[in-house]
Chain A
Amino acid sequence: MKHFIFFFTFLFVFSACQQNDMVDPTLEQPTKINYSTKNAPFNQKVAKKAEEIAESYDGVPKAISVNTDRKLLLAFQLDHMKRFQLKQKEKTIEKKLKKSFRDYDVTVSSDMKIYWETEKLINKLENLDKREMNKKVENIIQLSREET
């Protein structure tokens, strides 16, 4: 019995610390925030439009997006119960966006990490110049392409 108590305390403490360590960005900002992207190095109109398109899909509560002059990156979240169709959803949205923005190289991801990174990037858009931003977006796109 002693061992079980030890074990469960261990598990509890362990999982508890892990959870506390991670500040959930999506929980902190539950509603849409108007990022001030006016001073962004690239005009974010396309990204805003893409967000709207993605969010018009059923089961997509939230999408965020950035664009450079050539690239468009969109990350979205999906209702948990719809996650079985995650890959299809990703494909449909990507197709739609590619159609809507033919001039852009479109990347769509549903990966949580990509979402977090994109969000971080959007929060500091104002302080970046064009070269830096190109690099950052490129990095995220590379990350999303990584396999295994």
Chain B
Amino acid sequence: MVASFFWAFVIGGLICVIGQIMFDVFHLTPAHTLSTFVVIGAILDGFGLYEPFIDFAGAGATIPITSFGNSLVHGALQEAEKHGLIGVLTGMFEVTSSGISAAIIFGFIGALLFKPKG
């Protein structure tokens, strides 16, 4: 348990450091950086490398945005196994939906509740 927290902290932190380097050294905007991360996550899962990574780092691998790409691929592959090529299309959001729907729902609730503070 302690090890889980430790590695979640370290791996999660290191992924963020990579992001910071992309910000500061390569002068990428946050949008560019995050898009790159998502694509990297998708590719890593394509090679089957992201799952072991999650097993190891737990939330350190599932909380960074890279896991978004991973779970998109995962959903697509799961469905593809059952329904063939068309599953690639239909399964895409099967696993990720919670992140996106949570963002949409809480985004709207936030807009109802809050004003920008400046």
Contact = CB atoms under 8 A, between A and B. Distances in A.
B1 A87 contact: no
Given A27-B1, A84-B55, 11 more contacts: A26-B1, A80-B4, A80-B7, A80-B56, A83-B52, A83-B56, A86-B52, A86-B55, A87-B55, A148-B78, A148-B95
Given A24-B1, A26-B1, A80-B3, A147 B55 contact: no
A84 B58 CA distance: 11
Interface string A65-106: 000000000000000100111110000000000000000000
A80 B56 CA distance: 7
Interface of A: 19, 22, 24, 26-27, 80, 83-87, 147-148
Contacts of B56: 80, 83-84, 86
Contacts of B3: 80
Nearest to B49: A84
A55 B34 CA distance: 42
- 4 tightest Cβ-Cβ pairs between the two chains A and B: A80-B3, A86-B55, A83-B56, A84-B52
Contacts, number: 28
Contacts of A86: 52, 55-56
Given A84-B56, A87-B55, A148 B94 contact: yes
A86 B56 CA distance: 8
Contacts of A80: 3-4, 7, 56
Contacts of B52: 83-87
A83 B6 CA distance: 14
A27 B3 CA distance: 12
28 contacts: A19-B5, A22-B1, A24-B1, A26-B1, A27-B1, A80-B3, A80-B4, A80-B7, A80-B56, A83-B52, A83-B55, A83-B56, A84-B52, A84-B53, A84-B55, A84-B56, A85-B52, A86-B52, A86-B55, A86-B56, A87-B51, A87-B52, A87-B55, A147-B78, A148-B75, A148-B78, A148-B94, A148-B95
B74 to A, nearest CB: 8
A83 B54 CA distance: 9
Interface centre among A86, A87, A147, A148, by most B CB within 10 Å? Answer: A148
Contacts of B5: 19
Nearest to B57: A83
A84 B52 CA distance: 5
